[in-house]
Structure 1
Amino acid sequence: MGVREAQRYVTEIDERVRAVTEPGEQLVEIFAAFVTTIAGNELLRRLLGTEPEIILPRLTTEAGPILAVGRGYLADKLRELEVGATVPDFEPDLVAEIMARLALSLALTPDGLIPLDDPAAGRDFARRTLLPMVGIRVAH
């Protein structure tokens, strides 16, 4: 996976997100789209299994440019949320960095407590965990 592939994923994700109008739900959908795009990437899964010596450096020690693509997209979306005036002050670039790193970590190590194979559970996770990072509280 390189910068070009990361940009293609961001374009696909943005198409999904544009269908959502409520700002908080856009953030939820971004997370769900990132997770399902990464988790469902059979080529990435296969390369991690068959050619880890090639793909792992690109997604770890050399992943700065890939992280920058995800971080830039997320920061722009977070700034759009900030303009809505319902979100308290937060640092879009820092929150975007955390979210981009989370997405990359999930790509490399999908096994864990964060649901990757269930989009509804992934959205619920985002509502409970990621929205509070930008000051959006969700009623239970």
Structure 2
Amino acid sequence: MPVDDDLILDAAVEELRAYGLRRTSVDNVARRAGLSRATVYRRFESKNALVQAALVRESSRFFGEIVAAIGPLPTANERLVEGFVVGLRKVRTDALLARLLVSDPEELLPYLTLRGAGVIAAASEFLVDQYRAVVRPRPGGRDPRVLAEMLVRLAISFTLTPDGAIAVHDDDAVREFAQSYLAPLLP
């Protein structure tokens, strides 16, 4: 019987929520999924690959929720501003991210920085798709992929270091920041 990666990734996310990065093991993920350790390793070559795949998938789900929130907004400007507000709010309230930031910040950091290429690429691709849904890029105009990557990296920075001049726990302050500083960057 073929193994569904989602079964393994669901088990990995549950383990991560329950035990954090350090205490999650491939053995426990396999047990939770009702599979053998070897089966999990055939699908994911290492714990790092499994965790990265789980984080990429959770990022895709996260962005799906943002689409639902900003979908009715007609302009790229409105979608950017409200998407940034909703995104930072979701980061503050996401159970998995909150658990990992509290219990394993030094373990999480590489998955958002040094080993974060997959998460950054998935998030950037999502933003470019959202932009193209409402704007036709002009030939010779600025590349929306650059802005998308910059926004993702900025959001990661706010997630990892929320205290600063911008009150990231206040939707109105985030909205004002996004309108003043991010919206003007749209190509």
- Where on the TM-score scale, by shorter chain, does this alignment land: which range? 0.7 to 0.9
Find 2:75's aligned residue among 22, 26, 36: 22
Q: RMSD between aligned alpha carbons?
A: 2.1
2 CA distance for matches of 1:71 and 1:28?
Answer: 16
Aligned to 2:182: 130
Aligned to 1:50: 103
Find 2:171's aligned residue among 111, 116, 119: 119
**2:101 alignment partner AA:** L
Aligned to 1:99: 151
2 CA distance for matches of 1:23 and 1:70?
Answer: 17
Higher relative contact order (CA 8 A, sep 6+): 1
The number of residues matched between the two structures is 133
Q: How many percent of aligned residue pairs carry the same amino acid?
A: 35
The answer to whether the 8 Å contact 1:20/1:26 transfers is yes
Larger Rg: 2
1 CA distance for matches of 2:135 and 2:117?
Answer: 26
2 CA distance for matches of 1:7 and 1:84?
Answer: 24
2 CA distance for matches of 1:126 and 1:106?
Answer: 13
Give the TM-score taking structure 2 as reference length: 0.64
**Structure 1 residues 111-120 or 93-102, which shifts more?**
111-120
Unpaired runs of 5+ in structure 1?
136-140
For residue 2 of structure 1, give the secondary structure of its aligned residue in structure 2: helix
1 CA distance for matches of 2:108 and 2:143?
Answer: 31
1:42 deviation in Å?
A: 4.2
Q: 1:53 to 1:131 in 2, by over 3 A?
A: closer
2 CA distance for matches of 1:71 and 1:104?
Answer: 12
Q: 1:112 to 1:42 in 2, by over 3 A?
A: farther
